[in-house]
Amino acid sequence: MWTSAFYLPRLLEDYAERGGHVVYGPRTPEDVVAGIDAHDLTVIAFGRESINAFFPRDPNRSVHDAPQRIICSTLCRGVVPL
């Protein structure tokens, strides 16, 4: 069975082998804006860093000034409920 830990990197490898250009690693919002016209698709994903630097809150679009929920997900194998 393929898991995302193996499958997603393989998709990136296949894309690169077919001539696609993959750029990954730490970037600042300025880096992304400077290179946005050079790419057909830009995907921004976060782990430890804050997404707020890339997508600040727009007070004209939301009455909320804080997140309305906290989401957490876990993928476990072999764990049995008590």
Q: Could you read off the pLDDT of 61-81 as tens digits, one per residue?
A: 988 888 788 888 777 788 877
Tell me the C-alpha distance between 11 and 14, whole Å. 5
10-47: burial string, b at 16+ Cβ within 10 Å, e else: eeeeeeeeeeeeeeeeebeeeeeeeeeeeeeeeeeeee
Residues of the domain holding 74 = 1-82
Mean pLDDT value across residues 13-26: 87
| pTM tops 0.95 | no
| Interatomic CA distance for residues 12 and 8, integer angstroms | 6
- pLDDT over 90 at 17, yes or no: yes
Q: How many domains does the chain have?
A: 1
